[in-house]
Amino acid sequence: MTSLVSPLRALALAVLTVVGVLTGVSTASAAPKPIIGAYYAGWNSQSYPVSQIPVDRITHLFYAFSTIENGKCVVGSGAPADFAALAELKKKHPHLKSMISIGGWGAGGFSDATLTPASRAAFVKSCVDMFFGQYRGSFDGVDIDWEFPVYGGPTEITDRPEDKRNMTLLTKEFRRQLGPGKLVTGALPTGRLQTDGPYDPAASFELSELAKVMDFINVMTYDMGTGFSSVSTFNAPMREVSDDPLAQPMRRWNNVTSAVEYYKRHGVPGTKMVLGVPFYGRGFIVDQPGSQNGLYQRYGSAFWPGGWGTIKRDLLPNEAWKEFWHPTAQAPWLYNAAERKFLSYENPRSIAIKAEFAKKAGLVGTFMWELSDDDSSHSLLTAMSSPFKK
């Protein structure tokens, strides 16, 4: 009996090893290989070329974005040069898995492209022909970033009730046409205020079914405080803050810890989740300074402060900006009293806390939006990846 079991066990392990090599996800001991993901904004390629990508520090790169026109995948004029550079980068660093991310905020066309079996098949074929035919060697898979099926996205973008099911069918169609050895992932949101008010991811996505089809899900645990918020607030708080005036049940879920719990409750295991962290800030110009140094105040307008690299260089040394730390949100903020400007951002301390949480919660890794927002020493990327490299 032993002589029969041993060869069968060896064969099974060999098959699992091959599967792991093909997909980029380890199957040994049922423990996935850690994922350190990075989104790369193609529109910044002049100032942050592909050659600058810190390939030795990441496992997966997501090129943003391909969009949809007339039911087909399209890219910008500068993308082909980036794809060629990416193919060369991958030859030198074969461990790197690169993904073409399709969609993004403001990208329309998904609802129409996925409406029928024929339109879905044609759309997916256009993407497969482009990224795995015309630009063969540049990509290992597709990342679907539909913001958002059914409701919650920009008001000018077409959406339908059928989108929820069609998102799943789209994912399955990518899986079918890509075949074995290619990755299919998605960037999915957490609960937050959107164009239509309070937003529930489970109303847009069949979360448990997507978890079965996708190799992993990039959970966008950020943008919890934006221009849709009623007060100045944190972009990615770790836990629910009792002082936050956001009404329930939104406040319960509008933080990193609870967002992960929400996904697990809806059938997404930790081994299929990659935790998202923002490398950029969110700013508000408040109406009155209040007693909380700009936090949770009504505001007249929002402003874009840039990424961590800019904040570190230009604002932290400036005495007009005072730095604060919230013990529950476990996040920093800056406040300029003279200009009534409140700024939520991330620093190495807050990113490290999020990464440690992801590790302890059984998630498969971390990812960020986006690479060029880090400082020159990659301090946020180091903090984000450290728990998964121990």
Task: Assess whether pLDDT exceeds 80 at residue 26.
Answer: no
pLDDT band at 30 (very low <50, low <70, confident <90, very high): low
Q: What is the pTM of this model?
A: 0.92
Taking CA atoms, 50 is separated from 35, 62, 288, 308, 311, in Å, by 20, 12, 44, 20, 23
Q: How many CB atoms lie within 10 A of CB 377?
A: 10
Q: How far apart are CA 313 and CA 307, in angstroms?
A: 10
Q: Shortest CA distance to 275 belongs to which of 202, 194, 192, 369?
A: 369
Task: Assess whether pLDDT exceeds 80 at residue 382.
Answer: yes
Task: Assess whether pLDDT exceeds 60 at residue 284.
Answer: yes
For domain 32-278+348-388, the question of CATH label 3.30.70.2190 is answered with no
The answer to whether 282 and 372 have CB atoms below 8 angstroms apart is no
Contacts of 204 (CB under 8 A, 6+ apart): 148, 149, 150, 151, 152, 163, 164, 167, 189
- Taking only the tens place, the pLDDT of each residue in 191-234 is 889 999 999 999 999 999 999 999 999 999 999 999 999 999 99
List the domain boundaries for the chain: 1-29, 32-278+348-388
- Taking only the tens place, the pLDDT of each residue in 328-369 is 999 999 999 999 999 999 999 999 999 999 999 999 999 999
Element at 380 (helix H, strand E):
helix 379-385
The answer to whether 131 and 66 have CB atoms below 8 angstroms apart is yes
Quote the pLDDT of residue 20: 46
The answer to whether 147 and 104 have CB atoms below 8 angstroms apart is yes
Q: How far apart are CA 216 and CA 222, in angstroms?
A: 18
Q: Which residues pair with 192 in a beta bridge?
A: 199
- Taking only the tens place, the pLDDT of each residue in 288-323 is 977 899 999 999 999 999 999 999 999 999 999 999
The answer to whether 218 and 269 have CB atoms below 8 angstroms apart is no
Quote the pLDDT of residue 32: 80
Task: Assess whether pLDDT exceeds 70 at residue 11.
Answer: no
Token pair 């992993």: residue: 216
